[in-house]
Amino acid sequence: MFEAEADGLRELRSANVIRVPEVIDCGVFDGESYLAIERLPLEPATASVERSLGRQLAALHRQVSDRFGWFRDNTIGLTFQRNTPADDWVDFFRAHRLGAQLELAAVNGYGGELQGLGVRLMDELPALFLDYEPAASLLHGDLWAGNWGNVAGEPVIFDPAVYYGDRESDIAMTMLFGGFGKEFYDAYAASWPMKPGHERRIRLYQLYHVLNHLNLFGRSYLGQALQLIRAVL
As annotated, the active-site residues are 142
77 contacts 210 by C-beta, under 8 angstroms: no
Residues 6+ apart with CB under 8 A from 176: 144, 206, 209, 210
- What is the C-alpha separation between 233 and 226, in angstroms, rounded? 11
CA atoms within 13 A on the CB side of 118: 24
Strand runs labelled E in the chain:
23-29, 32-37, 64-65, 74-76, 79-81, 136-139, 148-151, 154-157, 163-165
Residues 6+ apart with CB under 8 A from 15: 59, 60, 63, 138
Question: In angstroms, how far apart are the furthest CA atoms of the chain?
Answer: 54
Report the Cα–Cα distance between both ends of the chain, in Å, rounded. 34
216 contacts 81 by C-beta, under 8 angstroms: no
Residue 224 Cα distances to 19, 114, 206, angstroms = 33, 11, 10
